[in-house]
Amino acid sequence: MLDLPHPTPDAPTTDCFALAKALSGVHFIGGRYVPARSGKTFAVVNPATGAEVARAAEGDAADVDAAVADAVEAQKAWAKVPARKRGALVHACAAAIRTHVDELGRLIALETGKALRTESRVEANVVADVFEFFGGLGSELKGESVPFAPNVLSVTVREPLGVVGAIIPWNVPMLLMALKVAPALVAGNAVVVKSAEEAPLAVLRICEIMNRILPPGVFNMVSGFGPECGAPLVSHPKVRKVTFTGSVETGKIVAKAAAEKLIPVTLELGGKSPMIVFADCDFDKTVSGALTSMRFTRQGQSCTAASRIYVERPIFDRFVGEMKKAVDAMVMGDPLDEKTDIGTIVSEGQLEKVRAYIAEGSATPGATAHVCSAMPTDPALRKGLFIQPVIFTGLDGKSRLVREEIFGPVTVIQPFDDPEAVLAEANDSDYGLAASLWTNNLKVGLDLAHRLEAGLVQINQNLVVQANLSYGGVKSSGLGKEASLEAMLEHFTHKKTIMVNMS
Q: Which residues contact 78 (CB under 8 A, 6 or more apart)?
A: 86, 185, 188, 189, 190, 215, 218
Q: What string of H, E and C letters represents the secondary structure of 328-390?
A: HCCCECCCCCCCCCECCCCCHHHHHHHHHHHHHHHCCCCCEEEECCCCCCCHHHCCCCCCCCE
Q: Is 268 a catalytic residue?
A: yes
What is the distance between the alpha carbons of residues 372 and 436, in angstroms, rounded to a whole number? 23
What is the distance between the alpha carbons of residues 105 and 469, in angstroms, rounded to a whole number? 24
Phi/psi of residue 333, nearest 5 degrees: 180, -160
Partners of 265 in beta bridges: 242
- The alpha carbon of 250 is separated from its chain's Cα centroid by a whole number of angstroms, namely 15
Phi/psi of residue 326, nearest 5 degrees: -70, -40
Partners of 459 in beta bridges: 437
What is the distance between the alpha carbons of residues 202 and 195, in angstroms, rounded to a whole number? 10
Q: What string of H, E and C letters represents the secondary structure of 265-310?
A: EEEECCCCCEEEECCCCCHHHHHHHHHHHCCHHHCCCCCCCCCEEE
In the set 268, 312, 425, 453, the catalytic residue is: 268
Phi/psi of residue 215, nearest 5 degrees: -65, 145
Contact 491, 481 (CB under 8 A): yes
Contact 199, 175 (CB under 8 A): no
Q: How far is the CA of 26 from the CAs of 20, 34, 52, 228, 349, in angstroms?
A: 11, 5, 16, 16, 25
Phi/psi of residue 167, nearest 5 degrees: -120, 125
Instruction: Catalogue the active-site residues.
Output: 268
